[in-house]
Amino acid sequence: MAAALHFHDLTLGYDLHPAVHHLEGSVARGDLLAVCGPNGAGKSTLLKAIAGAIEPLGGKVERLACKAREIAYLPQAAEIDRSFPVNVFDMVAMGFWHSLGLFGGISRAQRQRVFDAIASVGLTGLEDRSIGTLSGGQMQRMLFARLLLQDAPVILLDEPFTAIDSKTTADLLAVVARWHREERTVIAVLHDDEIIRRHFPKALLLAREAVAWGATNDVLTGENLLRARRMVEAFDRQAHECERVA
Amino acid sequence: MIYDLLFAPFAEFEFMRRALIGGMALALAGAPLGIFLILRRLSLTGDAMSHAILPGAAIGYLVSGLSLGAMTLGGLIAGFVVALASGAVARVTVLREDASLAAFYLISLALGVTIVSLKGSNIDLLHVLFGNVLALDEPTLYLLAAIASMTLFGLALIYRPLVLETVDPLFLASVSRAGAPVQLIFLALVVMNLVAGFHALGTLMAVGLMMLPAAAARMWSADISAMSIIACAIGVASAYLGLIVSFHTGAPSGPLVILVAGLFYLVSLVFGRAGGLVRLIRPRRHLEA
């Protein structure tokens, strides 16, 4: 299977402290990959680097499936101003950004696709509601509808089901499964081992370094999880400059 | 009688016609900018920027007296320098943007007043601080009209990314590089309008026709297009009514225009259907579902 992404000796971090250290490997096209690991393991940082939101301290991310700005990225803490007067329809329709540009109007066909996307996340009837009136779960459904319209070959989700109830999680997992059937590459940062085991065929256990990467059942073993926890706890404030070459 | 009260001043005196046109140009361009300043929580930034342009205008005045070109250019340069410098300080140091902006504009204001009072008379200082809407000459009027046209055109150009940059900046950053240039263009439009307002209303009140109609409009609607139209209408009405009252009472015109806008704001604050106090005194009710 051709690769969608390749990490070449990738080191990411803040103020020179690595959050992801010398990561090497490929994500195949059509992979449904869960990234897991303890807090501070570098999971969100890795997604940001894939999306092109931060520059690596070392190494590089090679994007073989599409350009950085064609990747659909749902950040963990979306900085959405919920008091801003904009409704659900307009917000979802912004998924068409690349085809609309500055002035493009929405065609009748695109209009229908916006309604379809809103329907497939179960928000039909709320198109005219202003985003400030949505619950946390409805907000996340709306953002998934926008991701649907972005029609991206690579989709990044950062803890998409945190603080979301089980019904909403199940509905949104169905959307993820649909992306997988459409052979899109999906990478999701997740904490719930149960969800990962059941819905994600592949997993990357990250604790600054890749502890294990492969089929989910081989990755999420008790031994690996223990190792992951130890590696992050061993963080050293007085660390010397790293001279390792992968 | 009504003709004498409402129309005669403009029919008879050219300076009143000029003042009205200048005020309307300021109100039309300033109102939509004010809406975005409010939605982006930058209301006080507009105020700070209006003070920041003073030393630029003062240096222009120092070089060539009360000259339109020199003072405009100086104001524009000072506005951009303060905007960019406070943005840069916020990115590079621990200070947040509001703190660094406050620091820069205070320095700027003090510097401006010092320069003007060293060189000129108190009359000049009053002119710079409070403008004179009744003394707008032909070139100044053209400048105001040009700035208003450029503002409306520029705002139309960046409208979509500006909305997105305000409501969901991370999403805009993930699909486009437009975020930073759009912010800069928006700030540039604000500075341009403050410099325009400076000629008519002076540095201290230049921001008035921008913020007051916009804040009032927010009380009547939650829709951006509707808010913009309401704000423009309130701004134009304030310019007209302010000039009328000023003509008949002999009170200074610039402050009266702002006072009328302020009155619109206070009335909206109480009676506005989309956020005014009147909502609170109605008996509490709710729907079944």
Phi, psi dihedral angles at B108 (to 5 degrees):
-60, -45
Q: Does A150 touch chain B (CB under 8 A)?
A: yes
For residue range B217-272, list pLDDT tens digits in order. Answer: 999 988 888 999 999 999 999 999 999 998 899 888 888 999 999 999 999 998 88
Determine how many CB atoms are found less than 10 A away from the CB of residue B176.
Answer: 18
Q: Which long-range contacts (CB under 8 A, 24 or more apart) does A194-198 make?
A: A195/A34, A195/A161, A195/A169, A196/A34, A196/A36, A196/A220
Alpha-carbon span B193 to A175, nearest angstrom: 47
DSSP secondary-structure letter at A87? B
DSSP secondary-structure letter at A123? -
Phi, psi dihedral angles at B31 (to 5 degrees):
-60, -50
Angle of helix B179-201 relative to helix B208-218, nearest 10 degrees? Answer: 110
Where exactly are the structural domains of chain A?
A: 1-69+192-246
Alpha-carbon span B23 to B260, nearest angstrom: 13
Q: Does B174 touch chain A (CB under 8 A)?
A: yes
pLDDT recorded at residue A175: 92
For residue range B143-160, list pLDDT tens digits in order. Answer: 999 999 999 999 999 999
Q: Is residue B91 part of a domain?
A: yes
Alpha-carbon span B274 to B221, nearest angstrom: 5
Q: Which residues of chain B have pLDDT under 70?
A: 66, 120-123, 125, 282-284
Q: CB within 8 A of A153, min separation 6: which ones?
A: A4, A29, A65, A66, A70, A71, A184, A185
pLDDT recorded at residue B53: 86
Assigned token pair, B123: 């009359």
From the list B273, B39, B42, B220, the residue with the least C-alpha distance to A85 is B39
- The kind and range of the H/E element at B269 are helix B253-271
Q: Is residue B288 part of a domain?
A: no
Radius of gyration of chain B (CA): 20
How many A×B Cβ pairs under 8 Å? 55
Q: Does B153 touch chain A (CB under 8 A)?
A: no
Q: Which residues of B touch A98 (CB under 8 A)?
A: 175
For residue range A140-188, list pLDDT tens digits in order. Answer: 999 999 999 998 999 999 988 888 888 899 999 999 999 999 999 999 9
pLDDT recorded at residue B35: 94
Give one DSSP letter per residue of B21-63, joined into a string.
HHHHHHHHHHHHHHHHHHHTT-HHHHHHHHHHTHHHHHHHHHH
User: Taking CB atoms and an 8 Å limit, are A81 and B177 in contact across chains?
Assistant: no
Q: Which residues of chain A have pLDDT under 50?
A: 246
User: Taking CB atoms and an 8 Å limit, are B173 and A53 in contact across chains?
Assistant: yes
pLDDT recorded at residue B276: 77
Alpha-carbon span A126 to A88, nearest angstrom: 7
pLDDT recorded at residue A154: 93
Q: How far is the alpha carbon of A70 from chain B, nearest alpha carbon, in Å? A: 7
Q: Does A236 touch chain B (CB under 8 A)?
A: no
Alpha-carbon span A36 to A19, nearest angstrom: 14
Q: Is residue B148 part of a domain?
A: yes
Least CB-CB distance to B168: which of A78, A85, A130? A78
Q: CB within 8 A of B136, min separation 6: which ones?
A: B15, B18, B19, B22, B144, B199, B200
Q: How far is the alpha carbon of B4 from chain A, nearest alpha carbon, in Å? A: 43
From the list B268, B223, B194, B203, the residue with the least C-alpha distance to B29 is B194
Determine how many CB atoms are found less than 10 A away from the CB of residue B232.
Answer: 23
Instruction: Tell me the CA distances in angstroms from B12 to A86, B8, B240, one per residue in order.
Output: 47, 6, 15
User: Taking CB atoms and an 8 Å limit, are B222 and A85 in contact across chains?
Assistant: yes
What is the pTM (predicted TM-score) of this model?
Answer: 0.85
Q: How far is the alpha carbon of B173 from chain A, nearest alpha carbon, in Å? A: 8
Contact A93, A106 (CB under 8 A): yes
Alpha-carbon span B71 to B6, nearest angstrom: 34
Q: How far is the alpha carbon of B56 from chain A, nearest alpha carbon, in Å? A: 34
Q: Which residues of A touch B164 (CB under 8 A)?
A: 94, 97
Q: Which residues of A touch B167 (CB under 8 A)?
A: 80-81, 84, 86, 91, 131
Residue of chain B whose Cα is closest to the Cα of A131: B167
Q: CB within 8 A of A68, min separation 6: which ones?
A: A51, A52
- The kind and range of the H/E element at A114 are helix A108-120
Q: Above 0.90 for ipTM, yes or no?
A: no
Q: How far is the alpha carbon of A218 from chain B, nearest alpha carbon, in Å? A: 33
With a pLDDT cut of 90, the percent of chain B lying above it is 30
Alpha-carbon span B215 to B282, nearest angstrom: 23
pLDDT recorded at residue B120: 67
User: Domain with B79 in it: what CATH number?
Assistant: 1.10.3470.10
Strand positions, DSSP E, chain B: none
pLDDT recorded at residue A105: 81
Q: Is residue B171 part of a domain?
A: yes
The count of domains in chain B is 1
CA-based end-to-end distance of chain B? 55
Q: CB within 8 A of B91, min separation 6: which ones?
A: none
User: Taking CB atoms and an 8 Å limit, are A79 and B170 in contact across chains?
Assistant: yes
Q: Does A104 touch chain B (CB under 8 A)?
A: no
Domain with B19, as residue range(s), is 2-281
Alpha-carbon span A28 to A152, nearest angstrom: 15
Contact A163, A79 (CB under 8 A): no
Q: Is residue B286 part of a domain?
A: no
Q: What CATH number labels A1-69+192-246?
A: 3.40.50.300
Q: Is residue B266 part of a domain?
A: yes
